[in-house]
Every structure is written in C-alpha cells, then in structure tokens.
Amino acid sequence: MHVLTELGAALAAGSVEVVDLTTPLTPETPILQLPAPFANTVGLSMTPVSAFDDAGPGWAWNDLRLGEHAGTHLDAPSHWITGRHGKSVDRIEPARLVGPAAVVDFTAEAAADADALLEPEHLERWEAEHGRFPQNCWVLLRTGWSARGEDPARFLNADEHGLHAPGPSVAAAQWLAAHPHVSGFGVETVGIDAGVAGGFNPPFPAHHHLLGADKYGLTSLRGLDRLPVLGAQLVVAPLPVVGGTGSPARVLALVERAGA
C-alpha cells in the first residue's frame, strides 16, 4: 500500500499528471470507412430519454447507438480472423490494460509522406537508444496525425485510391507481434494499420499479426506529444462488452513531471 499511497500523494500534489489521450466522441468523430461491398460500422448517435421534463423531471439521460470501433477504441483479438478464437474485450485481463508506454516518434516521416511505413529498423533503433521495450508495454506510434482530428476529411485523408495514413509495414507488424514484452500497439490514426494496408500481403498486417498473437490495438489517440519517450504508465479502459470485438475506450497516461 505504500506505493499506492505515494502515488495518491503525487497525483494530489501534481507531480504526477494524468494526461487524457482520448479523442472526444461526438456524432462527427471520424470513423473508418471501408469500400463497397464491405459493411461499415456506425459512429455515435444519442436519443434523449428525458431532460428535466415530463418524462423525467429531475434527471437527464440518453440512449446511445454506437459502434464498437468508433473513436478512440480498443481492438480485441476476436476482432480479426486470425484471433477469432481469442479473447473478446470482456475477457482481456485487467493487468494487460495497464502498463508502460513506449513512444516511437514517427512525426518527421509522416510529415514527409502520408503513406510512410514504420519498419523494423525504426523499432530496433528505438531499442538501441532506449533499451528493450519494457514488460507488458504499449508501443505508441506518434505521428502528429491527431492535429487533423477536428477535420474529418483531412483526418481520414482519402482519395480515389483509398485512405492515406502512416502505419506499420508487414515486417514491422510481425516484429511487434513477436516481441514478448509488447502488450499492445497504439496510433493517432483511425486504425492500427497504414491507410494503404489493404493492398499488403497479408492485408491489414497489424490486425492480422498483432490480434492473432493476443496483442491489442488502440486507435485515434491524442496528446502523444505530452508523453515522454519512456516512463509514463498507460491505463486503457474499454467497456467489458461480453463477446465484444472491441470497445470505445478512455485512455489515460500517468506522467511524472520533471522537477516534481
């Protein structure tokens, strides 16, 4: 309990900051759009039940219609065919949802080329500089893409050839999936794969390899520029939807501030 008491005191004093990495969820929040003939999920819609009126004079509440994979969300293994017999979101161990954040800065590459691909050498260079990825960590790919978040068209960045957004190559997806210390992979973009990854072999390799290896995905993160390269603790809080293939999530980082 001594460690938790110290953490509580640090949070109260502000020497440990809680950084919210979640995109606010509204009906306008960009949602991944698949081409025909594939079906698409829905975003958020809210229907009032009562709002301090005759239907409920002292309370307000709403009914929600919401896709599992809307906004900032977690991908569970059962989301993908390679993990179809794996865990649904309610079966993910809570300990896997809390762990160190390892931030890989890919902003320069993404600024130079919207289709830039993360390769194993980028990850190996990170480990050469900072040490091996820590046990049970979340690798977070910082691309600066969240700056586009208020403009759905610019965020999705689609043209007649499909979406254009940075993400891992096939080799990088395999590398992350094989790393014994990696619990999950998080991105600022609408999905954990690169925009052009539908044309890779296999298609959508981050989904294919990571979810098939009992690793988890996080999308539409914001505020990664507020995190250190290493040292923050990530808290991922999806809804434990029984049988769910994923869930919108609140994602928080605990960050110790310098000089605290």
Peptide bond into 48 cis (omega under 30): no
Q: How many angstroms separate the most distant Cα atoms in the chain?
A: 64
As a dihedral over the C-alpha atoms of residue 252, residue 129, residue 225, residue 92, rounded to 10 degrees, the angle is -20
> Which residues does residue 168 pair with via DSSP β-bridges, in sequence order?
118
Q: Which of 69, 79, 122, 179 is catalytic?
A: 79
What are the distances in angstroms from CA 93 to CA 73, 85, 98, 230?
Answer: 17, 16, 10, 23
Q: How far, in Å, CA of 50 to CA of 43, rounded? A: 22
The answer to whether residues 220 and 188 touch, using CB atoms and an 8 Å cutoff, is yes
The β-bridge relationship of strands 16-20 and 45-53 is: unpaired
Q: Using CA atoms, how far apart are residues 247 and 110, in angstroms rounded to an integer?
A: 27
Q: Tell me whether residue 73 is one of the annotated catalytic residues.
A: no
Write the single-letter amino acid at 204. Answer: F
Query: Which run of H or of E encompasses 156?
Result: helix 152-156
Pairing of strands 158-159, 162-163: antiparallel
CB 248 within 8 A of CB 220: no
The two structure tokens encoding residue 250: 């609140």
Q: Which residues are catalytic?
A: 79
